[in-house]
Amino acid sequence: MDLRAALASCRLLAIVRGGDPDAALRTVLTLAEEGVELIEVSLSGADALTVLARARKELGPGRPLGAGTVLTAADAHAAHRAGAGFAVTPGLGTGVDTALDLGMPVLAGVLTPTDVIAAEARGAAALKLFPAAGAGGTAYLKALRGPFPGAAFVPVGGVDVTAARDYLAAGATAVGVGSPLVGDAADGGSITDLRERARAFRAAVRTGAWAEGPA
């Protein structure tokens, strides 16, 4: 898949991390039903590889589905076997290179200009700016875009509906959203509430100048 193009088109990456594997699977499937096209299952969740494999079986081979928190080469291999089509990392560990070797595009975690240079040199499809809020939010994103105007940044960490709009307006290609979107659904919480949050986020990322075309 062309992960950068998918991020630019969808503008939203949902991050599912839960303590209840069955609830996490329901969360993935519900998000897909609500039109959230890009979903990652974090490997730090309970029995995440099983969740990922079951989600892949339910969604079919053509639906974008990624593995998050890919830290090591072993993580990348396990995610690939479970059916992940792309990998998301919090930093630039060995999982980046192994995922790329396996043919999985990578959304690589970066924070500093040095990280950006290293991630792009290694062939990352896009750059996960993490933790975005702690780094300085939209002001920091704008600062990074100065020397790297062509980079595809995806802020992650503390992104609520308002912040999603702000990051996109500041030039982000997409936003990655975990708990503000998923809430407690992946731990057995309300699916009805999850649907409402999904609709709110989808509306937010479709509205604005960024909706006119891919970044």
Residue among 142, 210, 203 at smallest CA distance from 173: 210
Six token digits for residue 19: 């303590």
Residue with tokens 């702690």: 134
Q: In what order do the strands lie in the sheet with 38-42?
A: 153-155, 126-129, 106-110, 86-88, 65-68, 38-42, 12-16, 175-177
Task: Please name the residues in contact with 195: beta carbons below 8 A apart, sequence gap of 6 or more.
Answer: 30, 34
Q: Does the annotation mark 40 as catalytic?
A: yes
Six token digits for residue 105: 């595009």
CA-to-CA dists, residue 111 to 26, 73, 135, 158, angstroms: 32, 21, 7, 15
The active-site residue, picked from 33, 34, 37, 40, is: 40
The active-site residue, picked from 37, 58, 128, 142, is: 128
Task: Please name the residues in contact with 149: beta carbons below 8 A apart, sequence gap of 6 or more.
Answer: none
Active site residues: 40, 128
